[in-house]
Amino acid sequence: MIIKNDKIFKSHGDGSFCKKDFKHYGNNIIIEKGVLIFHPETISLANNIYIGHNTILKGYYKNYLEIGEGTWIGQNCFLHSAGKLKIGKAVGIGPCVKILSSYHMDSDINIPVMHNTIEFEEVVVKDGVDIGVGAIILPGVRIGKGSIIGAGSVITRDVEEYTVVAGNPARLLRKRK
């Protein structure tokens, strides 16, 4: 336990896990070396999922993380489900992607931001989405079915289905045909 600025910080554990610890653990799941999984009791993994080296799945004690069938997650990703995170079927998530579902408010300027209220907002990634290397998806975003997120993009708002977006912040490039 660490005490800092009169706040008590507790360890989240070491990220180790067993199959039996998960809310649901499907068949043919490959979890590479170095993957850390926190709160697996709130995580559901469907069948045929690949999770790349050194990825962190950060479950949260009061919400859930669902990953759909046939999804591929590259190495060094960070998926945070404090506000809920639902990833559909056959989603491709490139290396180093970050998906966040909570943030600190800045409502009281008399205290450090990290001690302000935490807001939780669900993130939904629909079936067949492809997320490019290093993209960042912010809390509350919904990404429509069959969309493509360009490498390095920052997704700050909803993405319509079958569209291609890229940039920081991401903008519409074109509709898919």
d(CA 83, CA 14): 22
Considering the chain, what is the average pLDDT of its residues? Answer: 93
* Domains of the chain, residue spans: 12-175
The β-bridge partners of 31 are 51
**What digits encode the pLDDT tens for the residues 46-97?**
999 999 999 999 999 889 999 999 999 999 999 999 999 999 999 999 999 9
Give the pTM.
0.92
Report helix, strand or coil for 20.
helix
Please pick, among 24, 80, 104, 115, the residue that the annotation labels catalytic.
104
**Where do runs of H (alpha helix) occur along the chain?**
none
Residues 6+ apart with CB under 8 A from 134: 94, 95, 96, 97, 151, 152
Measure the CA dihedral 39/42/48/54, to 10°. Answer: -20
pLDDT at 2 over 90: no
Mind listing the pLDDT tens digit for each residue in 107-158? 888 888 888 888 999 999 999 999 999 999 999 999 999 999 999 999 999 9
CATH of domain 12-175: 2.160.10.10
Cβ neighbours of 92 (radius 10 Å): 18
Asked about 104 being catalytic, the answer comes back as yes
Over residues 13-25, the mean pLDDT reads 93
**Residue 1: its pLDDT value, please?**
44
